Amino acid sequence: MHLDRGYDSRKTRDLLELLGFDADIAVKGRPAPIQAGRRWPVERLHSWMNGYGKLRRVTDKRTIIVEFSLYLAVALTVIRRLINSARSRYRWPTRPTTRRLR
């Protein structure tokens, strides 16, 4: 099991030993044994969803309104990602160089 520096404590090491796991925990102050090359998909999704201020400041008590805002933000995020991936995948020689959608 590979864990990051946040789990570097005696309590965690004792629990892993009790459960029979062989753990490789990064020690604070030294580089981690295994570096993740990219962000986790969940962290990336949360950062994309944080771009929608309405979701951070939901004041409506009706569930249907809150769910609609969430579904709309997800749909816009997916559409934006599809457009960005299509932009790099399907190029043509006279393609405009400006990026209008972020």
Tell me which residue has tokens 């299509």. Answer: 86
The pLDDT, as a whole number, for residue 18 is 92
Give the C-alpha separation, 55 to 59, whole Å. Answer: 9
Instruction: Give the residue with greater pLDDT, 4 vs 11.
Output: 11
Indicate the pLDDT class of residue 3, thresholds 50, 70 and 90.
Answer: confident
Q: Helix 63-89 to helix 41-49 angle, to the nearest 10 degrees?
A: 110
pLDDT, greater one: 33 or 45: 45
The domain locations on the chain are 1-37, 41-89
For 6-13, what is the mean pLDDT? Answer: 86
* CA 12 from centroid of its chain's CA atoms: 25
- Strand ranges in the chain using DSSP code E only, listed in sequence order: 2-3, 24-25
